[in-house]
Amino acid sequence: MGLGRYLKAAFTNQWNLLAFFGAMGFALLSGHPDVFVPLVLAGELAYVGLLGTHPKFQSYVDAQAAKVTREQGTSSAEQNFQRMMNALPDALRQRFRNLQARCLELRQIALELKDPSLAKSPETVTATTWSTDNPLEEMQLAGLDRLLWIYMRLLFTQYSLDRFLQRTSESQMQRDITRLETQLQGVPVNSNDPQQQKIRKTLEDNLETSRARVANLKKARDNYEIVRLEIDRLENKIQSLSELAINRQEPDFVSAQVDQVVTSMVQTEKTMNELEFATGLSVAEETVPELLQRQTVRMK
């Protein structure tokens, strides 16, 4: 199956198809198709076999496939980001934009540390400038994207949990539990009546489900508080990075700090993954969307 993929790529190459169909056309119109068509087919098989098994060509095919996968992953992540952004209330959307602006400010500070002349006209600094001449390496820039992506997911998780908690009544759950316990007391434990056994089993299952709902609600409340604190922590981390960039005047130090913050958020991502029941977010989040690279840096 693996080799077949390379052979198919060799055959469907646009230049090969052009040459192949051109040769077949000549063979069919030559007046001796019985002679030339087999020769063309033999030559094509030899060419496809040689190219499809060549290590460099296989590496090229793998690289193209990886590129398509990355682009598809990025597109999916961007769609998820936009879906979350649209779902958030205005206050949370603005909160995200404020932190994004803080990241752009950090990026501008780092650029100015590398080239003070950029401070004169920061509105001209574009993503292209950043990618070609940056004191923060591409990996660190991706780290800032990841921080913003985590932050968006935190905001969306907080919003989803808030809606869940507002729509869920613990008092009603407790009333249901009391009612079921009372009904259960009226059904004999060791009754030989099949109907009574079915009723008791149904009540016991319902009671267990109701108690599990109460436990789940309490856990959601605890997680809501954790998420709220994590949002505050991440905001402070980003602001601290900006301040450190100014005070230390060391681009490499800024890079290292970005890495440390990203690493510190691993447990936070695990917590969010556990809340899929309320947020609908996939447990295995895919490619991180580009939230900074496409932005134009503008300092006020």
d(CA 27, CA 37): 5
Domain match, 206 and 267 both: yes
pLDDT one-digit tens code per residue, 224-267: 898 899 899 888 887 787 677 666 656 567 667 777 887 877 77
Domain match, 122 and 268 both: yes
For the chain, how many residues are written?
A: 300
d(CA 123, CA 84): 29
Residue 167 lies in a domain: yes
Q: What is the CA radius of gyration of the chain?
A: 31
Structural domain including 124 reads 58-279
Task: Give yes or no for residue 127 having a pLDDT over 50.
Answer: no
Place of tokens 């990075």: 241
Domain match, 38 and 186 both: no
Arithmetic mean of pLDDT over the chain: 76
Domain match, 143 and 92 both: yes
d(CA 153, CA 159): 10
Domain match, 165 and 178 both: yes
pLDDT, mean of residues 167-184 = 92
Q: Which two tokens stand for residue 277?
A: 């029941």
Residue 293 lies in a domain: no
d(CA 252, CA 12): 47
Residue 298 lies in a domain: no
pLDDT, mean of residues 57-79 = 63
Residue 81 lies in a domain: yes
pLDDT at position 178: 94
Domain match, 44 and 116 both: no
Domain match, 26 and 164 both: no
Domain match, 45 and 73 both: no
CB-CB contact of 232 with 163 (8 Å): no
Domain match, 72 and 169 both: yes
Domain match, 7 and 107 both: no
In the chain the first and final C-alpha atoms are separated, in Å, by 57
Domain match, 36 and 68 both: no
Say how many domains are in the chain: 2
- 214 — pLDDT class (breaks 50, 70, 90): very high
pTM (2 d.p.): 0.60
Q: H helices then E strands: how many in the chain? A: 12, 0
CB-CB contact of 214 with 174 (8 Å): yes
CB-CB contact of 288 with 142 (8 Å): yes
d(CA 276, CA 157): 9
Q: What is the DSSP string of 148-200?
A: HHHHHHHHHHHHHHHHHHHH--HHHHHHHHHHHHHHHHTS-TT---HHHHHHH
Residue 291 lies in a domain: no
d(CA 182, CA 99): 53
CB-CB contact of 145 with 288 (8 Å): yes
Domain match, 167 and 48 both: no
pLDDT, mean of residues 173-181 = 93
Residue 178 lies in a domain: yes
CB-side neighbour CA atoms (13 Å) of 133: 11
Residue 197 lies in a domain: yes
Q: Please give the C-alpha separations between residue 202 and each of 157, 181, 183, 192, 209, in angstroms, as whole numbers.
A: 34, 12, 11, 16, 11
d(CA 215, CA 209): 10
pLDDT at position 262: 76
- 295 — pLDDT class (breaks 50, 70, 90): very low
Residue 285 lies in a domain: no
SS3 125: coil
